[in-house]
Amino acid sequence: MAKIKRAAVIGAGVMGAAIAGHLANAGIRTLLLDIVPRELSEKEKAAGLSLADKSVRNRLARTGVERLYKEKPAPLFHRRVAERIELGNLEDDLPRLAEMDWVVEAVVENLSIKQDLFARIEKVWQSGTIISSNTSGISIQNMVKACSPEFRSHFLGTHFFNPPRYMKLLEIIPTKDTDASIVAEMKAFAEDVLGKGVVFAKDTPNFIANRIGVYGLAITFQKMLEEGLGPDEVDAVTGRAMGRPKSATFRTLDLVGLDTFIHVSDNVRENVDDPAEKQAFSIPELLRTMVDKGWLGAKSGQGFFKKV
Ligand code: NAD
């Protein structure tokens, strides 16, 4: 019997909210935390954003967790499952992490933000609580290098795929410090309770799936620009025509989030030595321009495609 009964997810964005939804589907009472943004950058003000627009967590708070049942694809299999998710904010609810069996971090893909967060979590952490990161590819070991050996023994990577309710794969990334009993418990929970197929990955940039998958997406994007193709044409070929009904190239980028995709691609470029591989993970300027304009993909309503 898996021992995880209470979980917390930190970061209520694209992945955090959907992971909380999938945990709730599996009968796990889940606390979903995010930050409350305090101010807007000059760029965000110029783009006419409000604080409420900026916070995905606020979006959930405004419209209710039940919206996770209305989204497509829906993270929740039934609207009543939403009762198992409690929303909170990191500033007030951090001490409650001590009550949890498992805490999974799904905040923005940035090493120093994650390091700061784990330093804060360690202050309230009780031995026995498993802590993991849903990072797409940042070094697991580096995230907690300033934490105690005891904390590090409870820490590992748990990389879910988008959308987490439907994607079967879970990459588990233990470090040299992760206790074998924690790895075994996480694997049993992922397989028996969450219905995942577990693959163990090494703590290398972007692990296994994103080292291959992001490469494919980045190369497609570079070639598309060179050859003057449009997203519709590329998706027509890389979707149904290739036996992938839902995961055509540019629709996948919109689903992932263009800002997140840049972070994930940059992570490989900055952490490999091979110049050819660095080049392959280079992001065309057009993508950065889109993100600067607030075109983040499905989560902002506009990416390569406009969400209706
Ligand atoms: P997102 O941009 O949708 O959401 C990030 C959330 O983090 C936001 O709600 C934001 O308010 C919150 N946040 C930012 N700084 C914070 C802080 N200091 N403390 C707490 N919360 C903070 O991002 P996402 O796509 O959900 O990605 C989250 C993580 O999951 C990243 O590490 C990403 O690489 C990984 N991931 C993403 C995907 C994907 O398809 N988007 C897939 C697998 C893994």
Domain that holds residue 228: 209-300
Does 268 lie in the same domain as 190?
no
- List pLDDT tens digits, range 157-168: 999 999 999 999
Nearest to 60 by CA among 97, 22, 88: 88
Residues within 6 Å of ligand 1 by CB: 10-16, 34-35, 55-57, 90, 106-109, 113, 117, 134-136, 160, 162, 256-257, 260, 264, 299
CB atoms within 10 A of CB 199: 14
Query: What pLDDT is stored for residue 53 in this prediction?
Result: 62
Residue of 19, 31, 56, 107 best suited for mutating to test ligand 1, as the one with most atoms within 8 Å of CB: 107
Residue-level pLDDT at 244: 78
Ligand 1 centroid–CA 81 distance in Å is 23
Whether the complex's predicted ipTM is more than 0.85 is answered with yes
- Residues 193 and 264 grouped into a single domain: no
SS3 state at 51: helix
Ligand 1 centre from 241 Cα, in Å?
31
pLDDT at 57: 59
Q: Into how many domains does the chain fold?
A: 2
Q: How far is the CA of 220 from the centre of ligand 1 (A)?
A: 24
245 shares its domain with 137: no
The pLDDT of residue 55 is 61
Q: Strands of 102-105's sheet, edge to edge?
A: 85-89, 29-34, 6-10, 102-105, 130-133, 155-160, 169-174, 197-200
d(CA 184, CA 161): 20
Q: How far apart are CA 30 and CA 84, in angstroms?
A: 6
Are residues 186 and 240 both part of a single domain? Answer: no
How far, in Å, is the centroid of ligand 1 from the Cα of 12? 7
Residue 55 counted as domain residue: yes
CA of 147 to the centre of ligand 1 (A): 22
Kindly state whether residues 93 and 215 are assigned to the same domain: no
Output the residue whose Cα is nearest ligand 1's atom 30.
106
* Residue 267: both structure tokens together: 């992570």
Q: Are residues 166 and 43 in the same domain?
A: yes
Low-confidence ranges of the chain (pLDDT < 70): 1-2, 36, 51-59, 62, 308
Last residue of a domain, one of 140, 173, 200: 200
**Which pLDDT belongs to residue 186?**
98
Confirm whether 169 is domain-assigned. yes
Of 200, 233, 263, the residue at which a domain comes to its end is 200
Q: Quick one: pLDDT at residue 77?
A: 94
pLDDT at 43: 78
Q: What is the pTM of this model?
A: 0.93
From 181, 200, 219, the end of a domain falls on 200
